[in-house]
A and B are shown apart, each in its own frame.
Chain A
Amino acid sequence: SFVMGVVTGIPLEFQFGTNWAAFSAFTGDIIAQTLAMEGAFAFFLESAFVGLFLFGERRFGQRMHWFSSLMVFLGTWASGYFIITTNAWMQNPVGYRVLENGNIELNDYWAVLLNPWMVWQFLHNMGGAVVCAAFVMAGLGAFYLLADRDHEYARIFLKIGVVSGVIASVWMLFPTGHFSSEQVAEHQPVALAAMEGQFETERPAGIVFIGQPDVENRRIDNPIVLPRALSFLIYQNWNAEVKGLEAFPEEDWPDNIPLLYYSYHVMVGLGTFFIGIMTLAAFLMWRGRLYDSRWMLWVLMLALPFPFIANTAGWFTAELGRQPWLAYGLFRTEEGISPLVSSGSVLFTIIGFAGMYLIMGLLYVVLMVREVSHGPEAEQETLEETEGVTA
């Protein structure tokens, strides 16, 4: 799965230039700092040690294996930091000054690296990755127990998955999710209004749990609303005013309000379920009944794919919410494209990438299923067998 991430991640570094040339030329002085730093500090680290991790276990022993996995971990988290810092600058541009000719240049390096937006976004994003990993661990453990095999490993998987899962899924709501939303409310109020489906300015404002946004008529159909909750969540005041979309010029509205609204609601809704599932599982584990509660194991197993969906929905929320801007309030998306690349060429490459990713996705699923059905105990046995041969 690492190679899938690597080979799909490579294009990103290039697509800034191939498809967003005008944006790259405009903001390159700033965002290329963090992107180039990612290359220098993160990519070298992880790629150098992943080879050692994959090839060195027998040759250099367990300690080196552990050390190289630690280095890969550092590399990937550093990579996460740099890419989030880049994105945070696009969400909340800082540390630059405008030149006479209208271009911008970097004037405060540390402001960019320590962008306040980055802090919550980074913690939230990395928490999402941990939630994902926790559900995969717990789901696999549940699968092995339900299939009545690999018991020893299944229990370890479940224990690690549930403990980290309960911590990480709460972490996603509070503090990271909460403060991320407050940040959006402060810096991108129009995005917040669209995420919440808030068409009108209200005092106090309720929070919409479910409902379908009707942008033409500027209302939510079939809403289920908790009164006053939105005012409280953002301003800690049950009577605070929350600005609706109507308070902003329509040209600054996010382009795709329904998709943004749904992404946000899917993310928050799933996140709430994750907390519920993991808390329940942790409670059962504490009571010593988790491994025998088949219904709970079923839930954990079936929940496995959902954090992937929630994380994707989260990124949809961040990126759609930023529209119609590439760099918020500074540079519009429509200005950013490459001037001389035809839309036909772009479509051609999109189809190509879609095809590649489809094939890779299928391969990934097939190989993962094989790996899972092979099972950890069998893996351990082959390892010991070959060790016996070489020793």
Chain B
Amino acid sequence: METIWFIAVAFMITMYVLLDGFDLGAGAIHLVAAKNDRERRTIIRAIGPVWDGNEVWLIAAGGTLFFAFPLLYASSFSGFYLPLIIVLWLLMIRGLSIELRGHIESPLWASFWDFAFFFGSSLLIIFFGAALGNVVRGVPLNEDGYFFQPLWTDFSPFSEEPGILDWYTVLIGLLAFTTLIAHGANWIAVKTEGVLNTRSHRISRTFALATVVLTAVATPATFWVSPWMLQGFLDRPYGFVLPVVAIAGLVGMIAFSFAERDRPAFLSSSAYILGMLTSTVFAVYPNVLPAVNPENSLTIQNAAASDYGQAVGLVWWSIGMVLAAIYFVIIYRLFRGKVNLEDEGY
């Protein structure tokens, strides 16, 4: 049953990255992709009805993680104290920038929030990528299951005491950055016409290529940092299907961005994200938070909630997810199609 919950939490995090990923990416590119107020409003409108719901996947994933693996929640959230609080601040700044931008009609007011939107979105992506990097690299958990790690130290690959931000985790952060920019550009391309659509194609192409390069660098780096990651695939070879999905997605990102086919390009970047994340969690399993000293690692067994709690949770969680899926299908269907600025909002 712990495995079911492991998959459930991984599923929710993946949903978060796929969905909020494109609106974070849209935030990161909107200063470049949109040059005037009308274009910027269009970009914000392309994510306006959905960004809040997308972000809920993060909060719901956090809640489910707390419920299914209380010790993991306690340990990782207190260990990543400072970066998590910074993430919260960035989420607040970003949410405010989307909602408040349109409240006062003034170029100064709008530019301020435009920058805040760009700043919050970009840093969030890098922090989330770095967080994933930390999980892969392992953290210095003690016997009680807690750890402290400085936010940064010297960024050296041979550091005695690596920080939460070091060469490897920032590398993963940058990979996340290029990936989600391409993902976000694909979404904007799907949702817009004319000059915005053209600029989004250009951004999507450039960042798809950058993603290829960074993937080529980050993959060997990952196996150098955490050699044990390969073991999971060797033990359970059927897992190799996941990186194949990622590679197929990457090929699709390149091919469709050059062919300017927006919808397949967006599906490809989704497939790439899906493949990369699932490959990572597949390799990490059955750990939930690997430790530098493997004896202290938190696993699905030693971090899990009681059997009774997990069993009742399964019932309501399934109902909740079905309901959430229904809401999302309704909302995305209602707001399908290109953005039309004549409708109200912002």
Does B317 have its Cβ within 8 Å of any Cβ on chain A? Answer: yes
Interface string of A1-44 (1 = CB under 8 A from B): 00100111011011011110110110011101101111111011
Does B148 touch A at the CB level, under 8 Å? yes
Chain A's closest residue to B305 (CB) is A29
Whether A60 sits at the interface, judged by CB under 8 Å, is yes
Could you list some 21 contacts between A and B, CB below 8 A? A3-B95, A3-B100, A13-B63, A18-B80, A24-B77, A29-B70, A32-B73, A40-B63, A40-B64, A41-B316, A43-B56, A47-B56, A48-B324, A48-B328, A48-B330, A52-B331, A58-B344, A105-B305, A105-B306, A106-B305, A107-B308
Question: Is B323 a contact of A41 with CB atoms below 8 Å?
Answer: yes
Separation of A188 and B327 alpha carbons in the complex (Å): 42
What are the nearest 3 A-B pairs in CB distance? A28-B70, A17-B77, A40-B320
One of B66, B71, B99, B103 near A36 (C-beta < 8 A): B66
B76 in the interface (beta carbon within 8 A)? yes
Task: Kindly report which residue of chain A lies nearest to residue B330, judged by CB atoms.
Answer: A48
| Chain B residues within 8 Å of A107, by CB | 308
Complex-state Cα separation, A217 to B50, whole angstroms: 59
B60 at the interface (CB under 8 A from A): yes
**B324, A18: Cβ atoms closer than 8 Å:** no
The yes or no answer to A176 lying at the interface (CB within 8 A) is: no
Q: A14 touching B334 by the CB < 8 A rule?
A: no
- Asked if B81 is an interface residue, CB under 8 A from chain A, the answer is yes
CA distance A389 to B344 in the complex (A): 12
Contact with A along B59-103 (1 / 0, CB 8 A): 111111011101101111111111011001101100110011001
The answer on a CB contact under 8 Å between A41 and B96 is no
State the majority secondary structure of interface residues on A.
helix
A306–B62 Cα gap in the complex (Å)? 35
Which chain B residues lie closer than 8 Å to A17 at the CB level?
62, 66, 73-74, 76-78
Query: Quick one: which of B27-62 are within 8 Å of A by CB?
Result: 45, 48-50, 52-53, 55-56, 59-62
Most chain A CB atoms below 10 A, which of B82, B84, B305, B344: B344
CB 8 Å contact bits of B292-320 with A (1 = contact, 0 = none): 00000000000001101100110011011
Contacts A24-B70, A35-B63 given; indicate if A54 touches B309 (C-beta within 8 A): no
Q: Choose among B60, B63, B84, B335 the residue that contacts A18 (Cβ–Cβ < 8 A).
A: B84
Does A375 sit at the interface, judged by CB under 8 A? no
Pick out which of these stretches binds chain B: A164-172, A196-204, A231-239, A339-347. A339-347
Of B64, B74, B144, B327, the contact of A45 (CB 8 Å cutoff): B327
- Residue B235 lies at the interface, judged by CB distance under 8 Å to chain A: no
A215 interface residue, CB < 8 Å from B? Answer: no
Q: CA of A59 to CA of B306 in the docked complex: distance in angstroms?
A: 48
Taking the closest CB of chain B, its distance from the CB of A49, in whole angstroms, is 7
Nearest chain B CB to A13's CB is how many angstroms away?
5
In the bound assembly, the distance between CA atoms of A25 and B100 in angstroms comes to 38
Map CB proximity to A onto B318-346 as digits: 1 under 8 Å, 0 otherwise. 01110110011011001100000011110
Q: Does B147 contact A (CB under 8 A)?
A: yes
Could you say which of B49, B78, B320 contacts A44, with CB atoms under 8 Å apart?
B320
Q: Say whether, besides A32-B67, A41-B320, A106-B306, A55 and B74 are in contact (CB < 8 Å).
A: no
A7 to B94, CA, bound (A): 9
| CA A36 to CA B335, docked complex, whole Å | 28
Known contacts A8-B92, A28-B71, A32-B63; A21 and B103 CB within 8 A of each other: no
Out of B68, B75, B89, B330, which one reaches A356, CB within 8 Å? B89
Establish whether residues B59 and A13, one from each chain, have CB atoms under 8 Å apart when the complex forms.
Answer: yes
Give the complex CA separation of A13 and B55 in angstroms. 13
Inter-subunit contact A37/B81 (CB<8 Å): no
* Total A-B contacts with CB atoms under 8 angstroms apart: 225
Cβ-defined contact, A55 with B53, below 8 A:
no
In the assembled complex, which residues on chain B have CB atoms less than 8 Å from the CB atom of A56? 49, 334-335
Beyond the given pairs A7-B91, A21-B78, A41-B323, 11 more chain A to chain B contacts, judged by CB atoms under 8 angstroms and listed by A's residue number, are A36-B68, A40-B324, A47-B56, A51-B48, A51-B49, A51-B53, A51-B331, A51-B335, A105-B305, A107-B308, A338-B78
Report whether B52 and A51 are in contact in the complex, using a CB–CB cutoff of 8 Å: yes
The yes or no answer to A276 lying at the interface (CB within 8 A) is no
Instruction: Decide: B85 and A349 in contact? CB cutoff 8 A.
Output: yes
Report B-chain residues with C-beta under 8 Å of the C-beta of A222.
Answer: none
Bound together, the chains give a CA A37 to CA B313 distance in angstroms of: 9
Bound CA–CA A24/B55 (angstroms): 23
| Residue B104 CB within 8 A of the other chain | yes
Chain B contacts for A287, CB-based, 8 A: none
Known A-B contacts A7-B92, A106-B308; the reply to A16 vs B66 at CB < 8 A is: yes
Please tell me if the beta carbons of B92 and A43 are within 8 angstroms of each other in the complex: no
- Return the contact of A43 from the options B59, B91, B95, B330 (Cβ within 8 A): B59
The answer to whether B59 and A10 touch across the interface, beta carbons within 8 angstroms, is: yes
Cβ–Cβ contact A33 & B52, under 8 A: no
Answer yes or no: A352 CB below 8 A from chain B CBs: yes
- Name the B residues within 8 Å of A49 (CB-CB): 327, 331
Q: Given contacts A18-B84, A28-B71, A367-B100, is CB(A50)–CB(B59) below 8 Å? A: no
A43–B49 CB distance below 8 A: no
For A50, what are the chain B residues with a Cβ–Cβ distance below 8 Å? Answer: 52
In the bound assembly, the distance between CA atoms of A349 and B321 in angstroms comes to: 33
B309 x A33 contact (CB < 8 A): yes
A340 x B92 contact (CB < 8 A): no
State the Cβ distance, B316 to closest chain A Cβ, in Å.
Answer: 6
> Considering the chains assembled together, what is the distance between the CA atoms of A60 and B321 in angstroms?
26
A44–B64 touching, CB < 8 Å: no
Chain B: minimal CB distance from A32 (Å): 4
B48 contacts A10, CB within 8 Å?
no
State whether the Cβ of B146 lies closer than 8 Å to any Cβ in chain A: yes
